[in-house]
Structure 1
Amino acid sequence: MGDGGKENDKELLTFSLASFFNDLGSDMIYPVWPLFVTSFLGANMFILGLIDGIGETIAALSKALSGYFSDKTGKRKVFIWIGYFMSFASRLGYAASSLWWHLIPFKVLDRAGKIRGAPRDAIVADISKENRGRNFGILRTMDNLGAVCGVLLCLFLMQFFSLKTILMIAAVPSLLSVAMIVLFIKEGRRGEVKRVSLSLFDRNFKIFLISAVFLSLATFSYSFLLIFVKNAGFPDMMLPVFYLLFTFIAAIASYPAGRLSDMLGSKRMLYVSMIIYSLMLVGFIYTRQLWLFFMLFILYGLFKGIVDTVQSSFAASLSPKDMKATGIGSLQLIIG
């Protein structure tokens, strides 16, 4: 897919809006998911962790395998709309479940929907080489804005609807995503690639993957950071506030991070993200004041906005021309 033109702008807008709506639906579920599984369906915390663990394993495998098969078959679009449809169907399945073990196949279906990620990102990477970081920045901005709006919408709907009704409502945005991809994305002709293998990637890409492994191992999840705040003595009501804060900051940081990576290089921006993250960790060690925690979650949002945008762009840049989905899928497998 060539540089420039209204068609490329339409593709980027379509992917960004589809991502926004799907994340809107996903994050409508997150605030009520633990309550639904434990209180409504009667599972204990071990079962909740087991279901989520199965889901994350399926998600990681789906990202990598879809990248490989997308490159191998020369197809992108079919993986994307089917992935969004899986999310739609799984949420209806959640709502229909009456026992906790009913959730397992729908959780597998939901997380298998991540097959959309690598093929979609490969198309975005090919829209413009010169503005690759910018385009990923726009996509990640819409991801995060969808997450913020989803949580806020969920908190609003909880005042009026049951948990099952909220789960059914959460399915609707993903159906919109399916329709947008099917109707507005035209797949260009791509031939099958005879051989797809990481052995065909050069040394720079492999070093990048190794560095991504170490960065992922060194990075705490937001859940750990929120628990840290709770253990510091602050009320539970502050936890969603901090979640929304860092997600919103990540949203507004993604676009400038992408633009700067186009101008300064992805490697330099990743260095910046590591410095920001290191400062944040030092802050968490010594901070016990509420206003300082706000500053630290702003730093965490900046880190997420930079690293989530720049890593995908960098992986695409280091991948062979016909194996971008494989490269991006390999990265997504590693970072989770």
Structure 2
Amino acid sequence: MGKKNDIVKERNNVYTLGWVAFFGGFGQDMIQPILPIFYSTVLGLSKETIGLIEGSLTTIVSVFKIVSGIISDKLGKRKIIVFIGYLLSAISRFLFGTVFFAWQAFILRLIDGIGKGTKDAPRDALVAQSAKEGHVGFSFGFQRMLDTLGSVIGPLVTAGILYLFASGNMRYRIIFYIAGLISAITILLIGIFVNEKASSASKEQSKFDFSVLKDKFLLFLIIMLIFTLGNSSDSFLILRAQDVGISPVIIPIVYAVFNLFYASLSVPAGSLSDRIGRVKVMKIGWIIYVLSYIGFAFASRPWHIWIIYIFYGLYYATTEGIAKSLVARIVPDNKRGTAYGLYNASLGIMTLPANIIAGYLWDNVSPSATFFFGAACAFIAFLTISVSNIEKAA
């Protein structure tokens, strides 16, 4: 009976953490479509400065992703660390409504990023631990689906607020306040409904080290670093949409449609990876990314952006959750906190140079050059993973 109750609790963890991701994505993507515009039109920042803030944020966050993963393995506790991470993000998003200077924006984005870095690895380890055998891809796909559904509703709410308040900077600040309150719902869900199974890992098994950084997992991280060098912030996609003539009021709707396709395809893509292999599905996703970035490079009309953004949603569905389920496949349970910390960090370490390069190419060469560079890096990563032996393990 006790074992059956444990199974029910673990299954409920998958569902609850999915809804945690929903409200987290809701709050985050209320502000994401307007953040680049807020930076450039309200704060008056250059593209290079925007890239520097967002890139510096992600790079520093990477440290917290690693540390939180290692600590969660060492303590054998995930829930409290996830709780603290979501709390920091909720507070920073609410306070962003008080920003008037670049240094204030940097500090609050840093706090939001620290929250994200703190929660990501232990949350992913909780999902992997709670997933039924043979359903890891589905479980991460389910989480990505709800996360992304929140990212559909968030931009639509933002678009409504922008429509109601047709002018003035206060409308941006109202969005930040509401996003912070919605993000706070995650704290209640974690505190009340998430149940953590006592860790069976010994002190020796969970010691403070990087022994997981070897073999197939190390190879996978290297490939991800190659890909991420060209995967600059999606803020540049929003700026590209504005560049070809889409108004700030419509941009959140475009972003919502993109997330709708992403959400609707995440579970099917995750289930497909359980059947045919995670690397095969990821390779499809990276080819879609290459084609999407080439499309952004050549885009010259607003309708081009609509079509490319929809196609780009398929890239996210076939890579985000599936990459995390791949980590769960090639790393033992008692090392997954550290592994997810290192994995998530690999997506962040290269983001600073990626964003600086993207901003430099945009300002000094052309907007198209930013996307050609991203497509090239993704294609190199595709070729590298194609000749690797990771496929055999996943």
Q: Which TM-score band (shorter chain)?
A: 0.7 to 0.9
Of 311, 321, 339, the residue aligned with 1:309 is 321
Of 115, 139, 143, the residue aligned with 2:143 is 139
Number of residue-to-residue matches in the alignment: 333
Aligned counterpart, 1:72: 74
Say which is worse superposed, 215-224 or 245-254, in terms of deviation.
215-224
Give the whole-Å Cα distance in 1 for the aligned partners of 2:94 and 2:242: 33
Q: How much has 1:285 moved relative to structure 2?
A: 5.9
Of 245, 250, 261, the residue aligned with 1:249 is 261
Q: How much has 1:153 moved relative to structure 2?
A: 0.7
Matches within 5 A, 1:48-197: 48-97=50-99, 99-114=101-116, 115-127=118-130, 128-158=132-162, 159-160=164-165, 162-190=171-199, 191=201, 192=203, 193-197=205-209
Give the whole-Å Cα distance in 1 for the aligned partners of 2:135 and 2:88: 31
- CA contact 1:133–1:309 (8 Å) conserved in 2: yes
Give the whole-Å Cα distance in 2 for the aligned partners of 1:276 and 1:316: 24
Aligned counterpart, 2:225: 213
Give the whole-Å Cα distance in 1 for the aligned partners of 2:9 and 2:70: 26
1:296 and 1:316, CA in 2 relative to 1: closer, same or farther beyond 3 A? same
Say which is worse superposed, 132-141 or 272-281, in terms of deviation.
272-281
1:169 and 1:281, CA in 2 relative to 1: closer, same or farther beyond 3 A? closer
Q: Which amino acid aligns with 2:182?
A: P
Q: How much has 1:98 moved relative to structure 2?
A: 5.1
- CA contact 1:196–1:323 (8 Å) conserved in 2: no
- What's the TM-score, normalizing by structure 1? 0.87
Q: How far does the alpha carbon of each residue in 1:32-66 deviate from its partner, in whole angstroms, 9 at most, with x for none?
A: 434555655x4533655544333222322222221
- CA contact 1:144–1:248 (8 Å) conserved in 2: yes
- CA contact 2:121–2:340 (8 Å) conserved in 1: yes
Q: How much has 1:296 moved relative to structure 2?
A: 3.0
Matches within 5 A, 1:22-37: 22-37=24-39
- CA contact 1:138–1:254 (8 Å) conserved in 2: yes
Aligned counterpart, 2:373: none
Aligned counterpart, 2:387: none
User: Would you say 1:300 and 2:351 are equivalent positions?
Assistant: no
RMSD: 2.8
Q: Which runs of 5+ in 1 are unaligned?
A: none
User: What SS does the aligned partner of 1:199 have?
Assistant: coil
Give the whole-Å Cα distance in 1 for the aligned partners of 2:177 and 2:299: 41
Q: How much has 1:14 moved relative to structure 2?
A: 1.0
Give the whole-Å Cα distance in 1 for the aligned partners of 2:67 and 2:134: 28
Say which is worse superposed, 293-302 or 255-264, in terms of deviation.
293-302
Q: Which amino acid aligns with 2:177?
A: M
User: Would you say 1:275 and 2:287 are equivalent positions?
Assistant: yes
Give the whole-Å Cα distance in 2 for the aligned partners of 1:28 and 1:282: 27
% same residue: 30
Give the whole-Å Cα distance in 1 for the aligned partners of 2:246 and 2:331: 46
1:93 and 1:74, CA in 2 relative to 1: closer, same or farther beyond 3 A? same
